[in-house]
Amino acid sequence: MTHCMISAPQPEAVEAGLDIFKAGGNVMDAAIAAAFVQTVVDPQMCGIAGFGSMQIFMPEKDIHSFIDFHGKAPKATKPDMWEHLVERECDDGFGFVLKGQVNEFGYQSMTSPMTLQAFNTALQRHGTMSLDQVLQPAIDYCMNGFAVRPRVLGFWLQPAQAGRIERVAVVNKLDAARKIYLSEDGALLNVGDILKNQDMGRLYQRIASEGIGIFYDGEIADLIAADMKANGGLLTRDDLGDCAPTDLAPLIGNYRGFEVATNQLPGGGLMILEMLNILEHFDLCAMGHNSARYIATVAEAMKYATIDKDQFMGDPNFIDVPQDLLASKARAAEFAAKIRAGEKADIVRLNSGAPESKDTTHLVVADAAGNVVNVTHSLGSSSGVITDGLGFMYNNCMMVFDPRPGHVGSLAPGKARFTAMCPTILSKDGKPFLALGAPGGTTITMGVLQTILNVVDFRMSAQEAVSAPRFCATSNVIELTNRILRGVERDLNQDGYVTRRYAASYITPILHAIRLQDGKLDGGADPAGDGMAAAC
């Protein structure tokens, strides 16, 4: 009998979590151990200086909550400091290209480092093991190394696109990163090469023995603050001292008899509810999975939710978000009527042409009792900055703020920026049925949506649901993976839709899911990643 299951993009993280289960840990112990391993073996996707959203569902303890740990703009941020540098908005509406790329790379590109604080908080509240126990697998991978996987190298080799930097710059441009990620002859490590990060290992050993206080209000904080000051960074020791995750209740909706619990703003859960509300007005199964009519209908729901995101969704501590309106069934019915009438939503962007970097990670852990930990965490697309001797890389989430004052995503000290992260659980009669999430920038919500539809409307298993061909509409272009039939694409084009076909059969977002049905667990790991779902 399956007692537990883990799904994640990294086999090393999955196995670390399974080992924690076998050693007597619970779902939180396993999740935090796996997440720390992710920070080592996917070091540009995530890290202790990152941000994210964690969903915790423990029905026997009557716990269903979120730990939100979105990074905040440093206190030194000025709302208009980059206004004169704007070149264009990313094509998917998630970030801006600036002259000099100061928001994307280097010492001014990072928000506050929240991940370590969030993991420690979650472990203390809901775990049974100590920090040093759950950190040990990550320490072992730091000190002994891990084999570079295809997705790790693939990130480094992403070319420059529409004003964005080549991603390899985050590992080969600054000296502290070069010492870790390049070989002795200066070459980039290749698939199968062993990557050791012993500076990070020694830092993790200190955190394990001394606690996270040294990072946020101790010797490590002093080193970080000094590095920032010496290199023109915005982060200060005060920013580190103020790092604290936020407890939030789930955002609740429903879809075809299932309760849908997802995260609140500044996460992307509101978009999930809005799209499901729209699509509940259609018999999607009768249309046929990935038929032209189905894709057009779902894409229009994606576009309407994207328009609302661009106009209304941001940090609720700084802007008034009409959440009740956006999540209302009445508004969804209006959009559904427009879709049925053949109207096409129009997404308007500023000088668009730059796709956003889609780099994050996810893991979902569940046990047979219905306890679930569902967490998405990220470095954005990584700043390239490593404080010499500490090993970890900082996030570059300042990239996604709007440098123009007066907009929902505009810069402000202490403000968090909207992200599409949306760990989500569907349940019925208080019992979890499907837990899922994904990395992938603004495509996250679109992939999570389609996986929900695949399971609920088309009765797919978790693996089938995350593996099925997908599409995405975060602009007026419908993006298609190469397994969407060309005849379907022709029908979409004849109906007036602009499409973009990818050569790849599997692309981001990289979905991970666990289905809990009739006391059984089945997991799915997206073939687009290196990961797996495994049971114990």
Residue 382 and residue 322 share a domain: no
Tens digit of each residue's pLDDT (9 = 90 or more) over 305-329: 999 999 999 999 999 999 999 999 9
Quick check: 302 and 478 in contact, CB under 8 A?
no
Confidence at residue 89, expressed as pLDDT on a 0 to 100 scale: 85
Domain check: are 387 and 469 in the same one?
A: no
State the pLDDT at residue 355. 52
Q: Report the alpha-carbon distance of residue 433 to residue 519 in Å, rounded.
A: 10
Amino acid at 366: A
Residue entry with tokens 């996460």: 267
Q: Tell me, what's the pLDDT at 90?
A: 80
Here the CATH number for the domain that contains residue 494 is 1.10.246.130
Question: Could you tell me the residue range of the domain that residue 325 belongs to?
Answer: 248-354+421-531
Starting at the earlier edge strand, list the strands of the sheet with 51-58. 246-248, 63-69, 51-58, 372-378, 361-367, 4-8, 532-535
Other residues' Cβ atoms within 10 Å of the Cβ of residue 100: 12
The CA distance from 191 to 243, in Å, is 36
Continuous H helices in 341-472: 443-456, 462-467
Quick count: other Cβ atoms within 10 Å of Cβ 288? 12
**CA end-to-end distance (rounded Å), the chain:** 8
Same domain flag for 225 and 299: no
If asked whether residues 231 and 267 sit together in one domain, one would say: no
Q: Looking at the structure, tell me whether residues 53 and 162 fall in a common domain.
A: yes
Sole residue written with tokens 């670390």: 16
Q: Are residues 130 and 254 in the same domain?
A: no
Q: CB within 8 A of 125, min separation 6: which ones?
A: none
pLDDT at 512: 98
424, 453, 445, 435: which is closest to 524 by C-alpha?
A: 435
Identify whether 57 is part of a domain. yes
Three-state secondary-structure class, residue 71: coil
CA distance 149 to 37: 14
Is residue 415 domain-resident?
no
**C-beta separation of 271 from 305 below 8 A:** yes
Look at residue 13 and tell me if it is in a domain: no
Q: Which residues pair with 43 in a beta bridge?
A: none
Quote the tokens at residue 478. Answer: 């419908």
Q: 147 — phi, psi (to 5°)? A: -80, 130
| 77 in any annotated domain | no
Task: Let me know: does 9 contact 151? Beta carbons within 8 Å.
Answer: yes
Q: Is residue 411 part of a domain?
A: no
Residue 321 lies in a domain: yes
Q: Which residues are catalytically annotated?
A: 360
Query: Cα separation of 372 and 387, whole Å?
Result: 35
Q: Whole-angstrom Cα distance, residue 343 to residue 30?
A: 48
User: Read out DSSP for 230-259?
Assistant: HTT-S--HHHHHT---EEEPPEEEEETTEE
Q: Are residues 166 and 308 in the same domain?
A: no
Residues 252 and 221 grouped into a single domain: no
> Environment class of residue 287 by beta-carbon count within 10 Å: exposed (0-12), middle (13-18) or buried (19+)?
middle
Helix residue spans in 107-191 (DSSP H): 115-126, 131-144, 150-156, 169-172, 175-181
Give the count of domains, the chain. 2
Q: With a cut of 50, which residues of the chain have pLDDT below it?
A: none
**Residue closest to 335 by CA, chosen among 315, 294, 305:** 305
For residues 295 and 330, membership in a common domain is answered with yes
> 309 and 222 share a domain?
no
Regarding whether 169 and 66 lie in a shared domain, the answer is yes
pLDDT value of position 360:
86
Helix 329-340 vs helix 269-279: angle between axes, to the nearest 10 degrees?
50
Could you tell me the two tokens for 501? 């076909």
Beta bridge partners of 523: 514
What pTM does this model have?
0.96
Residue 534 phi, psi (nearest 5) = -140, 155
Query: Looking at the DSSP assignment, which residues form a beta bridge with residue 395?
Result: none
pLDDT given for residue 160 in this prediction: 65
Identify residue 419 by its one-letter amino acid code: T
Does residue 182 fall inside a structural domain?
Answer: yes
Count H helices and E strands in the chain, helices first: 19, 20
Please check whether residue 515 lies inside any domain of the structure.
yes
Pairing mode of beta strands 477-480, 498-501: parallel
Q: 390 and 253, same structural domain?
A: no
CB 426 within 8 A of CB 269: no
Cβ neighbour number for residue 461 with a 10 Å cutoff: 16
